[in-house]
Amino acid sequence: MIIVPEREIAALISEEAAYEAVEAVFAAMARGQAVNFPVVREAIGHAEALYGFKSGFDRAGLVLGVKAGGYWPGNMARGLTNHQSSVFLFDPDTGMVSAMVGANLLTALRTAAAAAVSVRHLARKDARVLGMLGAGHQSAYQLRAVAKQRQFEKVVGWNMHPEMLGRLAETAAEVGLPFEAVSLEGLGAQADVIVTITSSFAPSLMADMVRPGTHLACMGTDTKGKQEVEAALLARARVFCDERAQSITIGEAQHAVAAGLIRAEDIVELGAVVAGIDPGRRSDDEITLFDGTGVALQDLAVAAKAVTVAQARGVAVEVAV
Ligand code: NAD
């Protein structure tokens, strides 16, 4: 069994590698070659923690595994990350455990990669202004990955807690783009691409704030009850997702579907666009909205890549089982 510790991940997996892994596994899902199993997520009644599993199997890449972990709100006070997760991979021929991989950084990289895949395949080619709604831990990874997908000239950002906007300003500077803090209305009026990455349970961005032709990557809603954008915006948009079953239960689409504003069967899985099965954006005026909930196969794809690179570089720890 191979162990790839969390501390090694940053040197093993680049944004580009995460992008390639996620794009490929989305396409495998669309071709019916890869499947996610139902998600388990439970409050454990200890340390106010939420704990669960996301698992799946990629038959094309022969990657079988599970991401286990969750959210421990008291960790920050102990100098630890609140989100904690590890991926376990298994030999699909025998079921024997083959690897354990630290998955905290991998989670941020694979989430940002999903947004980036949506921008590459769905945003207008002439997109120039990137709008960021949210300035928490994930936002920096999102900004870095998405900024590479178009020739952006500027980043505009809004956050409910303005004192956090420094993170967006610093990350924009890091990727060589000017940053401007704006109102929500200003964000909708200027941005060609909008990434939402908050933990909100009520919509911030309203349907009438968004211009025709905008692409949105809604990445923060990954739990029942969370919501970042008004449900009516999904009715104005062509809606895409990572996986439909998750999108309508724990994603942004849960609200629009429940309100009867859109139909589940009209939501297109992004992998279908990557695989050339769906045309994606159909006109420059169309609003496209990607509902990214985070699927197991993304985690397994980047973890498997980390194992391969770790073995090649000799940094994988081998343990007899
Ligand atoms: P964080 O705690 O570091 O930041 C939270 C962000 O949400 C901040 O910008 C904060 O100002 C904002 N916020 C909090 N309450 C709000 C409210 N009521 N209205 C508007 N904004 C509010 O969190 P993070 O690690 O950056 O994660 C952000 C979200 O992304 C979380 O909901 C997390 O569960 C989700 N997430 C999704 C995926 C996925 O695959 N889709 C993966 C990882 C994290």
Q: Are residues 98 and 137 in the same domain?
A: no
**Closest atom of ligand 1 relative to the 298 alpha carbon:** 40
Q: How many domains does the chain have?
A: 2
Per-residue confidence in pLDDT tens, the chain, 321 aa: 999 999 999 999 999 999 999 999 999 999 999 999 999 989 999 999 999 999 999 999 999 999 999 999 999 999 998 999 999 999 999 999 999 999 999 999 999 999 999 999 999 999 999 999 999 999 999 999 999 999 999 999 999 999 999 999 999 999 999 999 999 999 999 999 999 999 999 999 999 999 999 999 999 999 999 999 999 999 999 999 999 999 999 999 999 999 999 999 999 999 999 999 999 999 999 999 999 999 999 999 999 999 999 999 999 999 998
Q: What residue's CA is closest to ligand 1, atom 39?
A: 294
Residue (of 68, 32, 33, 142) closest to 296 by Cα position: 68
- Pairing status of strand 2-4 against strand 317-318: antiparallel
CA–centroid distance, residue 141 to ligand 1 (Å): 13
190 domain-assigned: yes
CA–centroid distance, residue 136 to ligand 1 (Å): 6
Which of the residues are catalytic?
Answer: 67
Q: Report the distance separating Cα 25 and Cα 47, nearest Å.
A: 35
CA–centroid distance, residue 31 to ligand 1 (Å): 31
CA–centroid distance, residue 46 to ligand 1 (Å): 22
Q: What residue's CA is closest to ligand 1, atom 42?
A: 111
Q: Are residues 179 and 266 in the same domain?
A: yes
Q: Report the distance separating Cα 214 and Cα 188, nearest Å.
A: 9
User: DSSP code of 82?
Assistant: S
- Phi, psi (deg, nearest 5) at residue 164: -90, -5
Q: What residue's CA is closest to ligand 1, atom 15?
A: 200
**Closest atom of ligand 1 relative to the 114 alpha carbon:** 40
Q: Report the distance separating Cα 155 and Cα 219, nearest Å.
A: 17
Q: Are residues 79 and 137 in the same domain?
A: no
pTM: 0.97
Which of 84, 197, 241 to mutate for ligand 1's pocket (most ligand atoms within 8 Å of CB)? 197
CATH code, 232: 3.40.50.720
Q: Which residues constitute the domain of residue 92? A: 2-107+297-318
Q: Are residues 274 and 305 in the same domain?
A: no
